[in-house]
């Protein structure tokens, strides 16, 4: 894809799927703002990798569940590069527990980080994209948001919320040249899934028709396509990147 001249923000891109997305968009020519929470080293590292590719990049620490920090992330981007064309809502956490044992704090934190952040970041970039009459918003949901998964009522609710949100906002902004889509990964090999014990991991692999976990790059390639000019007529969609898992579940 040719993304030269485009400016992208990728949330939660210090590692895992977000990092792979940031690197792929940069490889395709975009300027990329790398965001995460916590210590600055991971995002500085990803931004340095991007600069080594002779692309522009900025690392911005921000908690995307906080309105003032999201505002800082988007305004820093626009004041440095003059525009924001692509937003990838990737940041996410899990706090798994069966519902009968789930605390209110674990419910609230997952909804804030996985769903409220999507509202905050999307609303903040839309103001700029509507003026530009061009924009691409892609949010990372999950097959769990479509099919459900025991122990993940908070996570599945947040991820299902992203789907309703994306379909709605897609309709609101379609006439402005802005597309809004969601990608639903299955099981991807990252720190999030490396926490699973080996037995559980093997059970999951046994249920995936493709016979293996996906890679962060598999998700990143799909994001890059949806951000391109070529994908301009695709909006309000949820695209599974799951080696056939969802089809096998139904």
- 192-228 burial string, b = 16+ CB within 10 Å, else e? ebeeeeeeebeeeeeebeeeebbebebbbbbbbebbb
Out of 54, 101, 191, 197, name the contact with ligand NAD by CB under 6 A. Answer: 191
Cβ within 8 Å of residue 133, ≥6 positions away? 176, 177, 178
Tokens encoding 221: 């390639």
Under the criterion CB under 6 A, does residue 135 sit at the interface with ligand NAD?
no
Determine the interface stretch with ligand NAD among 88-96, 100-108, 126-134, 228-236 (rule: CB under 6 A).
88-96
Footprint on residues 44-63 left by ligand NAD (CB under 6 A): 63
- Which ranges of 87-175 does DSSP label H, i.e. alpha helix? 104-111, 117-132, 143-147, 153-173
Q: From the CB of 195, what's the least distance to ligand NAD, in Å?
A: 9
Out of 122, 193, 222, 235, name the contact with ligand NAD by CB under 6 A. Answer: 193
Under the criterion CB under 6 A, does residue 14 sit at the interface with ligand NAD?
yes
Nearest to 223 by CA among 138, 129, 122: 138
Active site residue 155: yes
Under the criterion CB under 6 A, does residue 174 sit at the interface with ligand NAD?
no
Determine the interface stretch with ligand NAD among 44-52, 124-132, 180-188, 196-204 (rule: CB under 6 A).
180-188
Footprint on residues 102-131 left by ligand NAD (CB under 6 A): 113
Tokens encoding 11: 């949330």
Q: Determine the length of the chain.
A: 250
Out of 187, 220, 224, 235, name the contact with ligand NAD by CB under 6 A. Answer: 187
Tokens encoding 155: 């996570």
CA 28 – CA 25 distance, rounded (Å):
5
Under the criterion CB under 6 A, does residue 160 sit at the interface with ligand NAD?
no
The count of chain residues that interact with ligand NAD, using the rule CB under 6 A, is 28
Q: From the CB of 175, what's the least distance to ligand NAD, in Å?
A: 29
Q: What is the DSSP string of 73-95?
A: HHHHHHHHHS---EEEE------
The catalytic residues are 155
Which residues are at the interface with ligand NAD (CB under 6 A)? 11-12, 14-18, 35-38, 63-65, 90-93, 113, 140, 142, 185, 187-188, 190-193
């Amino acid at each position: 894809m040719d993304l030269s001249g485009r400016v992208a923000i990728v949330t939660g891109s210090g590692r895992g799927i977000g990092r792979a997305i940031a690197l792929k968009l940069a490889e395709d020519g975009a300027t990329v703002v790398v965001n995460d929470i916590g210590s600055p080293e991971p995002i500085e590292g990803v931004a340095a990798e991007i600069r080594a590719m002779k692309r522009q990049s900025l690392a911005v620490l921000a908690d995307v569940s906080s309105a003032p920090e999201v505002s800082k992330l988007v305004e820093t981007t626009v004041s440095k590069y003059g525009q924001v064309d692509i937003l990838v809502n990737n940041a996410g956490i899990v706090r798994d527990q069966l519902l009968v044992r789930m605390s209110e704090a674990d419910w609230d934190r997952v909804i804030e980080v996985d769903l409220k952040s999507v509202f905050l970041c999307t609303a903040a970039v839309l103001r700029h994209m509507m003026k530009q009459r061009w924009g691409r918003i892609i949010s990372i949901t999950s097959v769990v948001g479509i099919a459900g998964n025991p122990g993940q009522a908070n996570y599945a609710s947040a991820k299902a919320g992203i789907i309703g949100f994306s379909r709605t906002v897609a309709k609101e902004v379609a006439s402005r040249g802005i597309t809004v889509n969601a990608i639903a990964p299955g099981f991807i090999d990252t720190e999030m899934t490396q926490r699973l014990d080996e037995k559980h991991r093997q059970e999951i692999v046994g249920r995936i028709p493709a016979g293996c976990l996906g890679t962060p790059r598999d998700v990143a390639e799909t994001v890059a396509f949806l951000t391109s000019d070529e994908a301009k007529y695709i909006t309000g969609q949820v695209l599974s990147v799951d080696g056939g898992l969802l089809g096998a579940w139904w």
